[in-house]
Structure 1
Amino acid sequence: MSEALKKMNIKPAGVQVAADNNRRVSSGVMEARAVKPDPEGRTAYMLEKEPTRVTLDDFRTLLMSAVMSGASDVTIQSDQQPRAEIHGTLYRATRRPWSASEVDLVLVEIYGGANARTEINGQRVLDFSYELNLAGGDKQRFRVNATGIFGRDGAGVEITMRALPSKTPDLEMVSLTEEEMIALSPKDGLIVIAGATGSGKSTSMAAVTRSHLESVDRPVKIVDIQAPIEYTYRDVTDKLAGSSSVIGQSEVGRHIGSFAIGVHSALRRKPHIINVGEARDFETISASLEACLTGHLVYTTTHAGSVSDAIRRLLTTFPGNERESRAYDLISGLRFLMVQHLLPRADKIGRIPVREYLRFTDRVRERLLGAPITDWPLIVGDEVSNEQPNKTPEDMRLSLKDVTSDYYDKGYITRADMLLLSRQKEASDSQPIEKD
Structure 2
Amino acid sequence: MQLPELLYMIYQKGASDLILKVGNKPMMRLQGSLVPLELPPLNPEDTKRFAVEIMTKEQLERFRRDKELDLSCSIASLCRFRASAFIQRGEFGLVFRLIPNNIPTMDELGLPIISKNLAMRPRGLVLVTGPAGCGKSTTIASMINTRNANQECHIITVEDPIEFVYQDVKAEINQREVGKDTLSFTNALKSVLRQDPDVIVVGEMRDLETISLAITAAETGHLVLSTLHTTDAMQTIDRIVDVFPPHQQTQVRMQLSGNLLGIISQVLLKRADGNGRVMAYEIMMVNSAIRNLIRE
Read off the aligned partner of 2:83 and give its amino acid letter.
Answer: V
Letter in 1 for 2:73: Y
Aligned pairs (5 A) from 1:414-425: none
Deviations 1:10-56 (A, max 9, x none): xxxxxxxxxxxxxxxxxxxxxxxxxxxxxxxxxxxxxxxxxxxx3xx
Distance in 2 of aligned mates of 1:325 and 1:147: 39
C-alpha distance in 2 between matches for 1:183 and 1:60:
38
Unaligned runs of 5+ in 1: 1-53, 372-436
- Secondary structure of the residue aligned to 1:203 is helix
Cα distance change, pair 271–121 in 1 and its aligned pair in 2 (3 A): closer
The answer for the alignment partner of 1:142 in structure 2 is: 81
- RMSD, aligned CA: 1.8
Indicate the residue corresponding to 1:95 in structure 2: 39
Decide whether the 8 Å contact of 1:189 with 1:293 is kept in 2. Answer: yes
User: Residue 77 of structure 1 aligns to which amino acid in structure 2?
Assistant: K
Aligned length in residues? 296
Residues 195 and 339 in structure 1, CA contact (< 8 A), matched pair in contact too: yes
Do the aligned residues in 2 keep the contact of 1:84 with 1:93 (CA within 8 Å)? yes
CA 1:276–1:337 in structure 2 vs 1: closer, same or farther (change >3 Å)?
Answer: same
Moved more, 254-263 or 190-199: 254-263
Map residues 39-78 of structure 1 onto 2, 5 A cutoff. Answer: 54=1, 58-78=2-22
Q: Structure 1 83/331 Cα, relative in aligned 2: closer, same or farther at 3 Å?
A: same
Q: How many angstroms apart in 1 are the aligned matches of 2:293 and 2:175?
A: 38
> Secondary structure at the residue paired with 1:160?
strand
Distance 1:352 1:291, change over 3 A: same
CA shift digits 1:145-185 (9 cap, x unpaired):
112222xxxx0232110111011221122111223321443
Is the CA contact (8 Å cut-off) linking 1:224 and 1:276 kept in structure 2?
Answer: yes
In 2, Cα distance between equivalents of 1:260 and 1:122: 21
- Per-residue deviation, 1:192: 0.5
In 2, the alpha carbon distance for the partners of 1:176 and 1:297 equals 19
Query: For residue 112 of structure 1, what is the aligned residue in structure 2?
Result: 56
1:230 paired to 2:163: yes
Query: In the aligned structure 1, how far is the partner of 2:70 from the partner of 2:290?
Result: 38
SS in 2 for 1:164: strand
User: What's the CA shift for 1:139?
Assistant: 4.5
Verify the 8 A CA contact 1:80 1:97 in the aligned structure 2: yes
Where 1:268 maps in the other structure, the secondary structure is coil
Q: Which amino acid aligns with 2:172?
A: V
Q: Mark the structure with the bigger radius of gyration.
A: 1
Deviation at 1:122, TM superposition (A): 3.7
Task: Give the Cα separation in 2 of the matches to 1:344 and 1:69.
Answer: 17
- Counterpart of 1:304 in structure 2 is 230
The residue that corresponds to 1:220 in the other structure is: 153
Q: How does 1:10-409 map to 2 (within 5 A)?
A: 54=1, 58-113=2-57, 116=60, 119-120=62-63, 122-133=65-76, 138-150=77-89, 155-215=90-150, 218-234=151-167, 237=168, 240=169, 243=170, 245-347=171-273, 349-369=275-295, 371=296
Q: Unaligned regions of 5+ residues in structure 2, if any?
A: none
Q: Sort the Cα spacing of 1:286 and 1:210 in 2 relative to 1 into closer, same or farther, 3 A.
A: same
Aligned counterparts of 1:368 and 1:275: Cα–Cα separation in 2: 23
Q: Percent identity?
A: 28
Q: How far apart, in 1, do the equivalents of 2:142 and 2:64 lie?
A: 37
> CA, structure 1 residues 167+108, in 2 after alignment: closer, same or farther (shift >3 Å)?
same
| Structure holding more strand per residue | 2
Distance change (3 Å), C-alpha of 1:83 and 1:297: same
- d(CA) in 2 for partners of 1:221 and 1:256? 18
Using structure 2 for the length normalisation, give the TM-score: 0.94
Q: Is the 8 A contact 1:344 1:350 kept in 2?
A: yes
